[in-house]
Amino acid sequence: MVAKTRGPTMESSSSRSNISSTKTERKIVEKNRRNQMKTLYSNLNSLLPNRNFKEAQTLPDQIDEAINYIKRLEEKLEKSREKRESLKRSRNRTHACTFDPAPPIAKSKSPQLKIQEMGSALEIVLTCGLDNQFVFYEIIKILHEEGVEVVSANFQALGDSIFHIVHAQVILIFDPLC
DSSP 6-23: HHHHHHHHHHHHHHHHHH
Rg, Å, the chain Cα set: 42
- Domain termination site, one of 51, 74, 97: 74
Range of the domain at 160: 105-170
Round to whole Å and give the CA distance between 124 and 139. 9
pLDDT single digits (tens) 89-144: 887 776 555 555 544 444 567 889 998 888 888 899 999 988 887 888 888 888 88
CATH of the domain at 66: 4.10.280
Residue 178 lies in a domain: no
Residue 16 lies in a domain: yes
The pTM of the full predicted model, rounded to 2 decimals, is: 0.39
Q: Among 137, 140, 142, 128, which Cα is nearest to 167's?
A: 140
Residue 82 lies in a domain: no
Please state the domain count of the chain.
2
Residue 139 lies in a domain: yes
pLDDT single digits (tens) 60-76: 888 898 899 899 999 99
Mean pLDDT of 47-65: 78
CATH of the domain at 142: 3.30.70
Residue 79 lies in a domain: no
Domain match, 7 and 70 both:
yes
Residue 95 lies in a domain: no
| Reduced 3-state DSSP string for 45-85 | HHCCCCCCCCCCCCHHHHHHHHHHHHHHHHHHHHHHHHHHH
Residue 56 lies in a domain: yes
Domain match, 66 and 130 both:
no
